[in-house]
Structure 1
Amino acid sequence: MLLILFSAVLWGTVGVTVASLYRLTDLSALTVGLIRVALAVPALVTASVLLRQFQTFKLTGPFIGLAALMGLATAAYQVCLFAAIQEAGVAVAALIALCTAPVWVAVLSAVVFRERLPLRAVLLLGAALCGAALLVYQPGAAQSAGTRPLVGAAWALGAALSYATLTVVSRALAPLASPLVSLTAAFSVATVLLLPLALREGITLMAVPWSAWGLLVYLGVVTTALGYVVFLRGLRTTPATFASVLTLLEPLVAVVLAGVFLGERLLPLNLLGAGLLVVSVGWFTRVWNKERGA
């Protein structure tokens, strides 16, 4: 559980990092997504070699299939989320993607792993999702949304489903290989899939200042490579549905950091959402552990 929470904290720093990056460069969101997963690959390979993860690894058919599916889900998440932002705006895309992902995870986990949520846990999950929605809600988001909100909403649902697939597949990969090996394969696939899309937009890496490269390296090595390694390690002993609820704390970290470093103010409604989110996740954890005799 602590590893999942740590990964949520790392992912919570992505927003303020990307916002700072956009102040320094004119890179597109898709290019940033490509660079993020691409920079993670050499970091993962280096760590795997130093820790001798490849020596004990056995390449099997199930591993190849699951790693390819995880890479596809990773790439699809980037494409769907960026398309949702373009069509419906940041706030709408974030609300839909954030608040439907745990539901998708619960549904997929019930089918794949036979995980079942007791009624109290379902109610607490709903409360946590409401808290997350209130936390990130900003009045006037509809006015600043894109020109095709329904299309954007569909893309956001695709992003949520991609994230849920990534989480469930990660859970299935956990016993087959170390997190380092699994992520090396998956992010390599995602890089190959995203590269043609980024090339169509045009990549201008030569114009990126050195200060921006520091932020890009942080995104790739810390929030992506380290964040997902920790997440996959935690999934070895944490059910996928439970993990998806814990990662709802990610937007809380993002909002706090945005207030500290970017000067963004929290409205009373946002504070109410933060409180509801924290209480619901804490209570959900208690109910979940009690159901399993922990």
Structure 2
Amino acid sequence: MDAQKNIYAVIEEVQKAVIGKQELLKIMMTAILASGHILIDDIPGVGKTTIAVAFAKALGLQHKRIQFTPDVLPSDLTGFSMYDKESRTFRYQEGAAMTQLLLADEINRASPKTQSALLEVMQEGRISVDGITHPVPSPFIVIATQNPFGSSGTQELPESQVDRFMIRITVGYPTAGEEFLILKDQSERSLDDVHAAADPTLLLSLQKKVSFVHMDDSLYRYMVSVAQLSRKRKDIRLGISPRGAMAWCRMTQAWALLQGRDYALPDDMRHVAAASLGHRIWPVSTLTEESAEHIVMLLLDSVPAPSLTEV
């Protein structure tokens, strides 16, 4: 399947700058194919920024990076109107969000107002400044990073904002073998080695193909049952939203395409469930992210999965 070949060509380019983490890269690529935004939640120094920039280069996308601090203003993202003396008119000065792939570093260090401005652009796909609407380039992807809540200078993102991200993932520490290669090859591996294996037109074409991946009604019914169950359990304060269920569905279709199929299987749903749903479930008690993912797995196991004969 040509689509699968094109997808893996991008992943192979990213791997020129990233050692290991193949499963993580596949999940991120799946979210990009699903036209979603990505939140990477992890400690400093594990390669979050390197992975994001490598994807931008491998996809052949125009990209910008903004380092969030408390003094970053919404206009730094959205842009602003500037008076031009020569033409005696106001002209629009683009902000960081006017790009195809935006790397938003340490989003939870920004003020709530700036965070809201970013989330609005992610949701609407356009920017309004002084009553004039400016559409963002297409495709438009945000890869945001944040340090764990509790780190110096951070503040937790509200549930409504976290829900806007299609997936939330962690990079994690490398294995001993991977860390050995990182130390040994640090002078040989560079983002300069990553070349474009795609372009915006190809990516838009792949994203369109995701929509045509067949989902049997039994898969939809299973997703609805899991979402409904998450809203009824007493140990869950906030269950899976309809937007969350839609994201899970889209991720399932994209994962099937990555596997070289034009139809989805029950295993596809299960494979992307933790990344798609883990940040959309808020337990009553304060638990770790691993516990939230564990609850997702419990929900999946509580509902009879469709059999291959049904699909």
Q: Structures share a fold, TM > 0.5?
A: no
Q: Shorter-chain TM-score: what band?
A: under 0.3
Structure number having the greater strand percentage: 2
Under a length normalisation based on structure 1, what TM-score does the superposition of the two structures give?
0.24
Under a length normalisation based on structure 2, what TM-score does the superposition of the two structures give?
0.24
